[in-house]
């Protein structure tokens, strides 16, 4: 098992250089909110009926036109996500055309629709990486959390195919009350298959899907989120490293995805709205996919205007004064998206995250004692 991918120094260098000129070197195309699973804590998934009542899905020609604009402005890295992108009509054709344009392409997927037919074209047009979310270590857990009683079997078959064809895979793992008992098995599954896995016990409130869910989700209590965060650290790093980590006293939460990257600042710690953007399925260009803001539609106002607006969203964000002066700020690592989705504002303290941080050190000690006994 590998805990995380190491970002190439060239990639980090390019982002650092792009930040000087605010060049959008990295983007995400969220193609659809539709999915073939129904995970209880999902921040975006909706029915076809609800999707159609909000907006239509964009055509391949529209996405390709936007891709050309982004390429002209310097974009190199493109992540395709959903919903489930392999469920999108004509996804194969869209992906291949984007690949031919020269982007470093990545895909977020639940893995259940990757079969031998998909592998035939993926191996001819290989992505930089496919990120597959692992929701459990059995079909029973997938049925409980995702309403898919064959999910684990489907994902395991997909992973075997991807490995056989040398397509790089990273596993993401969302730990919730519904799959917590599978955590160790999921980590072992990654280890046995020599796969990178990155897990988190923190779930964002799904404001993109339901604006009334401020500070709410189908998730752990803050203390339990800390406890399972400690288990994640222990299982990921191994007993000896985890013990040394706990005894060092330098214990901090870490939930940032590798794709976010880090660029320290007063309001944003990451690359959102500085060198990267998130294009939502309904036509909003946002600095971050977790921030439910009023992004502009580049198909209506043009890419430059939409990107300028995304940058301004970030510039206007001022995080809570209490957080800026908090002695636990570096251990908490609350980002702007966490603050907003937990409180409905950028200037209020995210109590859920505070409670996670305050309990995390004790949680790590508790897990260490359990593992030592």
- Give the span between the Cα atoms of 82 and 13, in whole angstroms: 28
CATH number of the domain enclosing 272: 3.20.20.70
Q: Which of 119-128, 185-194, 317-326 bottoms out in mean pLDDT, i.e. has the lowest?
A: 317-326
pLDDT at 130: 98
- Give the span between the Cα atoms of 146 and 144, in whole angstroms: 6
Tell me if 356 is assigned to some domain: no
pLDDT at 329: 85
- The residue among 315, 316, 361, 323 whose CA lies nearest residue 342 is 323
What total number of domains does the chain contain? 1
Mean pLDDT of 166-179: 97
pLDDT of 172 strictly over 60 = yes
Quick count: other Cβ atoms within 10 Å of Cβ 238? 12
Tell me if 279 is assigned to some domain: yes
pLDDT one-digit tens code per residue, 305-321: 999 999 999 988 888 88
pLDDT at 146: 97
- Give the span between the Cα atoms of 108 and 170, in whole angstroms: 10
Tell me if 359 is assigned to some domain: no
pLDDT one-digit tens code per residue, 17-71: 999 999 999 999 999 999 999 999 999 999 999 999 999 999 999 999 999 999 9
Mean pLDDT of 146-162: 98
pLDDT at 330: 82
Tell me if 98 is assigned to some domain: yes
Query: pTM here?
Result: 0.94
Q: What is the mean pLDDT of the chain?
A: 92
pLDDT at 327: 87
**Spatial CB neighbours of 272, under 8 Å, sequence gap ≥ 6:** 260, 278, 287, 288, 291, 314, 336, 337
Tell me if 45 is assigned to some domain: yes
In terms of C-beta density within 10 A (0-12 exposed, 13-18 middle, 19 or more buried), how is residue 164 classed? exposed
For residue 131, what are the domain limits? 9-219+265-317
What token pair was written down for 151? 């999910």
Tell me if 278 is assigned to some domain: yes
Tell me if 4 is assigned to some domain: no
């Amino acid at each position: 098992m590998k805990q995380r991918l190491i970002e190439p120094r060239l990639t980090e260098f390019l982002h650092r250089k792009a930040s000087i000129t605010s060049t959008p070197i990295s983007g995400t195309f969220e193609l659809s909110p539709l999915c073939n699973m129904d995970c209880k804590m999902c921040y975006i998934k909706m029915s076809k009926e609800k999707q159609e009542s909000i907006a239509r899905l964009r055509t391949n020609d529209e996405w390709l036109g936007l891709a050309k604009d982004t390429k002209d402005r310097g974009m190199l890295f493109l992540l395709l996500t959903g919903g489930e992108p392999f469920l999108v009509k004509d996804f194969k054709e869209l992906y291949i055309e984007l690949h031919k344009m020269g982007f470093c392409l990545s895909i977020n997927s639940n893995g259940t629709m990757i079969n031998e037919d998909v592998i035939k074209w993926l191996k001819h047009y290989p992505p930089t990486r496919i990120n597959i979310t692992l929701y459990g270590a059995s079909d029973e857990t997938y049925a409980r959390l995702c309403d898919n009683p064959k999910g684990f079997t489907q994902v395991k078959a997909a992973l075997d195919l991807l490995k056989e064809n040398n397509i790089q895979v990273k596993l993401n793992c969302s730990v919730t009350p519904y799959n917590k008992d599978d955590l160790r098995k999921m980590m072992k599954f990654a280890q046995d298959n020599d796969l990178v896995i990155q897990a988190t016990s923190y779930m964002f409130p799904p404001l993109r899907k339901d604006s009334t869910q401020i500070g709410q989700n189908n998730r752990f209590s803050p203390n339990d989120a800390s406890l399972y965060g400690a288990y994640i650290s222990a299982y990921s790093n191994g007993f000896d490293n985890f013990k040394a980590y706990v005894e060092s006293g330098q214990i901090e939460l870490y939930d940032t995805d590798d794709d976010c990257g880090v660029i320290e600042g007063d309001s944003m710690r990451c690359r959102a709205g500085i060198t990267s953007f998130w294009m939502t399925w309904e036509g909003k260009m946002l600095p971050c996919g977790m921030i439910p803001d009023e992004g502009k539609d580049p198909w209506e106002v043009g890419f430059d205007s939409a990107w300028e607006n995304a940058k301004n969203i970030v510039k206007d964000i001022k995080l809570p004064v209490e957080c800026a002066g908090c002695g636990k700020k570096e251990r908490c690592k609350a980002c702007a998206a966490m603050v907003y989705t937990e409180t409905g504002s950028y200037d209020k303290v995210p109590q859920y995250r505070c409670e996670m941080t305050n309990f995390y050190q004790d949680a790590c000690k508790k897990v260490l004692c359990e593992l030592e006994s």
